[in-house]
Structure 1
Amino acid sequence: MPATPMPSRALAVQKVLTAHCEAPVAVGDWQQLEPWAVARFHLEGAGVPGTGIAKWVRPAAGRTARCGPWRLPTECAALRFLGEDLGTRLAPRVIACDLAAGLLVLEDLAPRVALDGLLVRDGAAAHAKRLTAFARALGRLGAATAGRADAYYTRRAALGPVDREADAAGPIASSLAEGVRQAVALGIPPGGRASTELA
């Protein structure tokens, strides 16, 4: 039986890692994690971990939650900021990033089961310890990054232009503006407490 041909994305990851490691790296057992633009794979070669995670951006217009040219440089900058600048171990390590190829290769934190899946399956009471650990991790992230926006944006700007104000507002800013516009059109403009809550 002939071997299944390697997907083109896996070959691109292999090329990026070979260039990054300055030595041949073989990518195998490519498993795309649908519905995301993410795959888990095995690695062989000197100085590389046994498995890795690849991320890419699917073509789409606009600044959506999962698409757009801003996504990879932002994620790469954020993960390197957390791991390299702040020295935290609260996120996966960036192994390689090739923005021209549209690829981000990360440390594989598996085997893990996503907390949201466990909560849906079993309910919150069954996972009180995991929820507490999650809350602690968020607290540590908040404490480690507080007041460090300038350092992050310096790192992010090194990967390409970024509109700091739009980035801070996030992808929901346009939805918020549209919601306010629609409320005004219906004759019920948000004001007072409602505006404060929306903000």
Structure 2
Amino acid sequence: MLQLRNAGLEYGNTQIRFPDLTLSPGQRLGLFGPSGLGKSSLAKVLAGIEPLSQGELTLPDFAKGSANPVQWAIQQSEFAFNPRLTIKQSLRESWRGDGFMVLLDLYGVEPGWLNRRPSQISGGQLQRVNLVRALIPSTEYLICDEITAHLDMITQQQIWQALDEEAYRRKLGLLVISHDEDLLNLVCDDVLHWTA
């Protein structure tokens, strides 16, 4: 279970109070709220990138040195990749081998992209690769932070269909962060409305 209670962050004089949330295996929880509340900061906390200033975070157990079972797929996928590595090198770095190959077709990743660098494929193509990279075998929870916000409707549909199948097969918990309430109502079991 992934759980956040009475939690917040402090950045200098700025304080962010997070909503309480619980995400269970196999659940798809949507998080809706206006810009500027700190939704991406919340994602960083859940993914173990940013420590809480206050409150309680419950994460799944994992051994030191192993990958965090909570992975964060960000909206601006170009910031998620080392520009010097090829797509294949980035995927191998996360997967520690070539196990990612089984997901390429499901997410519409062309084999020809693997020898390119992140700047040599489109944003939509890179976001597909970003998801494959986040779905390493140890992933139990995936934070989807506006992952399809800048993609065309057909690509959005393909990505959400693939994620839905993957989440069902692996009983992944998905936290879907979006400004698109219609999308959240379509792909999530429950939607949490975060207001200031």
Per the normalisation by structure 2, the TM-score is 0.27
Determine which structure has more spread, i.e. the larger CA radius of gyration.
Answer: 1
Higher relative contact order (CA 8 A, sep 6+): 2
Question: Whose helix proportion is higher, 1 or 2?
Answer: 1
Per the normalisation by structure 1, the TM-score is 0.27
Question: Whose strand proportion is higher, 1 or 2?
Answer: 2
